[in-house]
Amino acid sequence: MSVLVVGTVAFDSIETPFGSAERILGGSASYFALGASFFAPVRIVGVIGRDFPQDYLDIFTQRNIDIGGIQRADGDTFHWRGRYHEDINLRDTIELHLNVLGGFEPKLPEPYRDAEYVFLGNIDPGMQMEVLRQLRRLKLVALDTMDHWIRESQQELRRVLERIEILVVNDSEARLLSGYDNNVKAARAILKMGPQMVLIKRGEYGVLQFSDSSMFATPAYPLEEVFDPTGAGDSFAGGFLGQLARSGDQSQGGLRRAIVYGSVVASFTVEDFGVKRLTDVSLAEIEERYRRFVQLTDFHS
């Protein structure tokens, strides 16, 4: 079962307390695709500029990611520049150049339209809706968004929320969207907006999952070094949907195990700059850390 992602493919320029990197491969679709690629075939839809190097596209194809949905447009690639604080959970956006993303009209190649596992990465809700319109057979659609769209395009975002299954947000976004400070109340309010499931990402503190019938909480895998948190959330979503596509198991247990796989993938992502760790980690290492995650959290035996 393959996974389709629509989102940004970008240049990231990143400064953390541990170093910096210029114009490395970034973007929500990139992190998601690489995270999902360990578990299932992945198709990526996005837009890049004339300046986007072949080397970066090769990173996708080396992981067997189908890049037939990446359009090349006249202009420069979307570029984000961010700086992390000493407290690595905090960051500032220093520069944001939409460039070719501004005029992006997502077009799904014909074979993509039957996708069954879909991730609508953090882009304009109007674009997310346009993707939904082009999809025929929907099995599961997950969506990410951010404070900007919640503030500026809430009406459009709400219409998309009515049509998706899973919302993936961090806790401040859940608060902003729902108007509640409390995660349980926030999730309950969001479930009324349409999604059957809300995943609240809490960075180094783990993930909360809410549905009408169930609540699941898991810590994050404790790491000795966090070099660069960029892409943790999107690669979490990639591991999550990738594992769902691999297992086909949407039971409560299957969904929970997919959340843990997502957490494991994210724990690798932050161990190096940009997508680097995602390109050199193996599925065997992911499975090994999943087993350690079981040991980390088990108190029954």
Q: How far is the CB of 188 from its own copies (least distance, A)?
A: 8
Pick from 76, 116, 216, 271 the residue near its own copies by CB under 8 A: 216
Q: Does 219 bind its own copies (CB under 8 A)?
A: yes
Let me know how long the chain is. 301
Q: Which is nearer to its own copies, 54 or 251 (CB)?
A: 251
Q: Does 191 bind its own copies (CB under 8 A)?
A: no
Which range in 54-62, 105-113, 189-197, 203-211 contacts its own copies by CB under 8 A?
Answer: 203-211
C-alpha–C-alpha distance, residues 202 and 208, integer Å: 8
Q: Does 91 bind its own copies (CB under 8 A)?
A: no
Q: Which is nearer to its own copies, 127 or 259 (CB)?
A: 259
Q: Does 157 bind its own copies (CB under 8 A)?
A: no
Pick from 74, 95, 110, 298 the residue near its own copies by CB under 8 A: 298
Q: Which is nearer to its own copies, 55 or 86 (CB)?
A: 86
For residue 91, what are the contacts with CB-CB under 8 A and spacing of at least 6?
A: 82, 83, 84, 85, 229
Q: Does 213 bind its own copies (CB under 8 A)?
A: no
Pick from 122, 183, 230, 243 the residue near its own copies by CB under 8 A: 183
Q: Residue written as tokens 């090769």?
A: 58
Q: Does 224 bind its own copies (CB under 8 A)?
A: yes
Q: How far is the CB of 253 from its own copies (least distance, A)?
A: 6
Q: Does 184 bind its own copies (CB under 8 A)?
A: yes
C-alpha–C-alpha distance, residues 45 and 51, integer Å: 18
Residue numbers 247-276 binding its own copies by CB under 8 A: 253, 256-257, 259-260
Size of site (CB under 8 A) for its own copies: 34
For residue 156, what are the contacts with CB-CB under 8 A and spacing of at least 6?
A: 124, 125, 126, 129, 149
Distances (CA, A) of 202 to 28, 129, 205, 217, 254: 17, 27, 5, 11, 21
Q: Which is nearer to its own copies, 17 or 68 (CB)?
A: 17
Q: Does 90 bind its own copies (CB under 8 A)?
A: no
Which range in 41-49, 112-120, 148-156, 175-183 contacts its own copies by CB under 8 A?
Answer: 175-183
- Which candidate in 12, 114, 234, 249 is catalytic? 234
Phi, psi of 43 (to 5 degrees): -120, 135
Active-site residue flag, 234: yes
Q: Does 294 bind its own copies (CB under 8 A)?
A: yes
Pick from 116, 206, 271, 276 the residue near its own copies by CB under 8 A: 206
Q: Which residues are catalytic?
A: 234
Site of interaction with its own copies (CB under 8 A) = 86, 181-185, 202, 205-206, 208, 215-226, 253, 256-257, 259-260, 294, 296-301
